[in-house]
Structure 1
Amino acid sequence: MASPIDQLSSDTVLTLAPDSSSAKAAQKLARPAQWPTLARDGEVLWGECQGSGAHPYLVGVDARSAEIASKCSCPSRKFPCKHALGLLLLHAAGAGTWSGSPPPADLAKWLDGRVARAEKAASPPSDVPADPAAQARAQQKTQAARDRKRTSGLEDLELWLSDLVREGLQAARARPYGDWDRQAARLVDAQLGGVARLVRQIPALLHDESGEALTAHLGQLWLLTQGWRVRDTLSSVEHADLLTALGTPLDRASLPPATPQVWQTLGSVQEEDGRLTVRRTWLLGEQQQLALLMDFAPLGQALPAPLAPDRPFTAAVAYAPSAVPQRAILQGEVMAAAAPLPQPGGTLTELQASYAAALALNPWLERIGAFVGPAYLTLDPPQLCDVAGHAVPLHARVEQGDLWNLLARAETQVQTYFGEWDGQSFLPVGAIPVDAATAESTEAGVPA
């Protein structure tokens, strides 16, 4: 059986890059002449990359679990950096002369630390509160104070929304950007970060002539104010969805232990949201269920090590409470698995129906993950089409170069695409070729 690190192709390595510039720089570094030392110790790769300085950079990659981590002596704050990506590209291509030497002391210390942290995370907490009753009273007091702030903030928002609608669209367009920022800042002070983010999104919707997107967005904000008023009548999962929409962080410690099973990474999306870098990673479970992992980091700081795409692993994945369970966390150790999981297909009609059903359960849901295939992409206009003749627009984040890359990888064949659907556009996250029998049976529906 092939080692997990031996299953990493060059294309898979490039998907780990934090941005396109890192991917391009790594490809330039994937030349053995720039690496005086290349070594492998089990599932650990390490080497020395000669840069412009007198001393080469010491680079290490830990692939002992599904979370591929890297360490480099270069000053870059990107993870993985171009040197770590270059090392992986060299290994994937089978280029250079590799020794079986163990890593030097600096890298060995880092590797031992990763093992220790993983063992600590897997072990149950041993601390027992000295006085559970006192701790519960303190938590209730804190929660009551937080609820008072939120109530005040949402009452102010309700009045602000009423004034905004009464004044009309033209008046809203004439408002300076400072108005939106000030309202968002007041909501942040009221511990309503999720609502503040929705307010900051309003200016981008003002110039739609139909006003439909703005009306729907304002309706979502108004529904938050009304949902808070009747929060005591909501079910537990509805209440959890309301708190999530308001911006309440996920309490990871409160999630019950999950049973380990096989999962596979479908891909990830990374973007900036205010002062944060956010990464959404989608997983497919052995029961064909989807799970969404969320990672956050302040701008300029590194996100946690990513999971390798298309690489199966065994782990316990616990879902956050929701009427539409998607958000999840990894619990305990992540172990590499051997066999990849079969991936389902789907039509655009099923996509729309799934989204409508999910939105009926959680009106603040921003997106769902979905498979569409057999399907194909078109350039003009940029859209995803299924073989039944239906089409949806691609997300604005899909740039022309990215679209050409997706088309080139498809090689004129229909594929099954996995991506995010927000009710308006589809953002491709990953794609797999459709098997030959399915492709032949649907070929008549695909334009030449």
Structure 2
Amino acid sequence: MTQQGVRWSADQVLALAPDSASRKAGSKLGAAGPWSGTGSSPEGAVWGRCKGSGGTPYRTVVDVVSGAGGPAYDCTCPSRKFPCKHALGLLLLWSGGEGSVPVGQAPDWVEQWLAGRRRASEKRAAGPAGSAGAPADPEGARRRAERRAERITAGATDLEERLADLLRSGLATAEQEGYGLWEETAARMVDAQAPGLASRVRELGALPATGAGWPVRLLEECALLHLLDQGWLHRERLPDALAATVRTRVGLSSSPQGPPVRDDWLVLAQYDTTDPKLTTRRSWLYGTASGRTALLLSYGAVGRAPELSLPVGLVLDAELSAHPGAGGRRASLGEQFAPPAPTGARPPGVTTTEATVRYGEALRDDPWQESVPVTLDDVIPTPDGGSWHLADAAGDTALPLAPAALDRPGLWRLVALSGGAPLKVFGECGHRGFTPLTAWPTGPGNAVRLC
């Protein structure tokens, strides 16, 4: 199959949208009506002009084969969303089949954009002094790392005192003091350059008076935060993998280590989480030969989606490099050798009982894990009062859905796809329950995105 012969489905295109408004607007532009001068190249570029509200059409181009970042987009419209509705509409038009966007010679403005991308890619590969092997200042980097470690240690010590004060005065005082004191403590963790600690402090501060049983939940989170503090303060005594996990949980970034692994990586799921300053995109991949499940993280400033966009359900021939840590799932995407392509591959699954065992085993290596990636085989969405479960079709066990999953439209997609029949479902299994992200029907059929 040639690169240009790879056609995505409409669902796979819409999975790239940064939000529901973009999906809706892009769908309206997925017909030939507003487009002119459309074309595509065997190398994976798709382009066209889209009529807008002004007199000059917007020029839109997508590089379907864009190296380590997934598809790349450019459009002359003023939208700050990434990809914009015009890029989504163009890809939807292109996904319609061979005759929807003709193969032809790219116009000058497309060639210029592609050439600029090639130059930028070569410059990044060359590194700072024009050489990929140009070393940074190792002594300066060591001193900076030592200073940051000292600040984190001071912050962790302050946090231990704050937790001790809370336990001495009683958990009821947390409700009386309100959120302000916790926000002040979180700000100190930010000043100490420990964003992971700051995030956990904010979550802990939001627990008081959140319904029945909040003191128990608060005590549990205090214990985990204390454990993380102690892990940092005594990290030199820990095994290397666990020490790396503690550094990551505290908020220190890591670089991939070891040789890259080339595989056909099935894109299992992709979704965004946002906070006031950052959008984080989580992409789950499964190596069809290695059997490894890997997590890619990418980030975007507030109001702008991260650049990494991988269509769910396609397979990617690429290299991944693992980051250190007890879980061993975090990875960085390296060279891509072909564009994302359709596949009939599906990840192997387990029962609901095996899924809970897998989460328990993962907590042994990383007690701060909220959840683990799991694929469930032959499960049926089953209502249970005001909640839902995924029940084993051939057994008498089930996993409850996480409360957050009950409010998502994906739940009803899951129920509709099942129609009472068993499904294969990929998601995240944790102490709050199971969060379904992608499902496959029994028998042939494409992956259905649920998030």
Give the TM-score of the pair, scaled to structure 2: 0.88
Give the drift of 1:142: 2.3
1:402 counterpart letter in structure 2: G
Give the drift of 1:208: 3.9
Equivalent position of 1:224 in the other structure: 228
Contact 2:403–2:432 (8 Å) recurs in 1: no
Give the drift of 1:352: 0.8
1:384 counterpart letter in structure 2: L
**Could you report, residue by residue, the CA deviation over 1:283-335 in whole angstroms, capped at 9, with x for unpaired residues?**
00122210000011220234113122222122221111112211110123442
- Cα distance in 2 for residues equivalent to 1:45 and 1:378: 43
- Structure 1 residue 429 corresponds to structure 2 residue 440: no
Which of the residues 190, 193, 200 maps onto 2:192?
190
1:60 counterpart letter in structure 2: V
Given the superposition, is the C-alpha separation of residues 268 and 159 from structure 1 closer, same or farther in structure 2, using an over 3 Å criterion?
same
Contact 2:3–2:339 (8 Å) recurs in 1: no
- Structure 1 residue 386 corresponds to structure 2 residue 388: no
**Could you report, residue by residue, the CA deviation over 1:208-254 in whole angstroms, capped at 9, with x for unpaired residues?**
422333222111110012112221111211110010010001234xx
Residue correspondence of structure 1 range 199-348 to structure 2 within 5 A = 199-206=201-208, 207-210=210-213, 211-252=215-256, 255-285=257-287, 286-336=289-339, 340-348=344-352
SS in 2 for 1:179: helix
- Cα distance in 1 for residues equivalent to 2:219 and 2:133: 50
Which of the residues 72, 75, 78 maps onto 2:78?
75
SS in 2 for 1:48: strand
Given the superposition, is the C-alpha separation of residues 364 and 268 from structure 1 closer, same or farther in structure 2, using an over 3 Å criterion?
same
Residue correspondence of structure 1 range 70-109 to structure 2 within 5 A = 70-94=73-97, 98-109=101-112
SS in 2 for 1:382: strand
- Structure 1 residue 360 corresponds to structure 2 residue 364: yes
Give the drift of 1:128: 3.7
Aligned-residue Cα RMSD (Å) equals 2.4
Equivalent position of 2:183 in the other structure: 181
Contact 1:257–1:318 (8 Å) recurs in 2: yes
Given the superposition, is the C-alpha separation of residues 102 and 2 from structure 1 closer, same or farther in structure 2, using an over 3 Å criterion?
closer
Contact 1:192–1:247 (8 Å) recurs in 2: yes
Given the superposition, is the C-alpha separation of residues 5 and 185 from structure 1 closer, same or farther in structure 2, using an over 3 Å criterion?
farther
Given the superposition, is the C-alpha separation of residues 84 and 204 from structure 1 closer, same or farther in structure 2, using an over 3 Å criterion?
same
1:381 counterpart letter in structure 2: S
- Cα distance in 2 for residues equivalent to 1:232 and 1:212: 31
Give the drift of 1:2: 6.5
Given the superposition, is the C-alpha separation of residues 403 and 5 from structure 1 closer, same or farther in structure 2, using an over 3 Å criterion?
farther
Contact 1:241–1:364 (8 Å) recurs in 2: no
Contact 2:75–2:87 (8 Å) recurs in 1: yes
**Could you report, residue by residue, the CA deviation over 1:365-418 in whole angstroms, capped at 9, with x for unpaired residues?**
232111011112235423322222323332344325332123223344321111
Q: Which runs of 5+ in 1 are unaligned?
A: 437-448
Equivalent position of 1:58 in the other structure: 59
Structure 1 range deviating more: 217-226 or 106-115: 106-115
Structure 1 range deviating more: 350-359 or 162-171: 162-171
2:378 counterpart letter in structure 1: P
Which of the residues 98, 107, 132 maps onto 1:126?
132
Give the TM-score of the pair, scaled to structure 1: 0.89
1:68 counterpart letter in structure 2: P
- Cα distance in 2 for residues equivalent to 1:79 and 1:413: 37
Contact 2:284–2:295 (8 Å) recurs in 1: yes
Give the drift of 1:119: 4.5
- Cα distance in 2 for residues equivalent to 1:228 and 1:5: 51
- Cα distance in 1 for residues equivalent to 2:154 and 2:192: 8
**Could you report, residue by residue, the CA deviation over 1:394-444 in whole angstroms, capped at 9, with x for unpaired residues?**
2344325332123223344321111112321222221112338xxxxxxxx
- Structure 1 residue 113 corresponds to structure 2 residue 116: yes
2:12 counterpart letter in structure 1: T
- Cα distance in 1 for residues equivalent to 2:148 and 2:435: 36
2:349 counterpart letter in structure 1: G
Contact 2:263–2:290 (8 Å) recurs in 1: no
1:141 counterpart letter in structure 2: R
- Cα distance in 1 for residues equivalent to 2:76 and 2:95: 22
Give the drift of 1:123: 6.1
Contact 1:5–1:63 (8 Å) recurs in 2: no
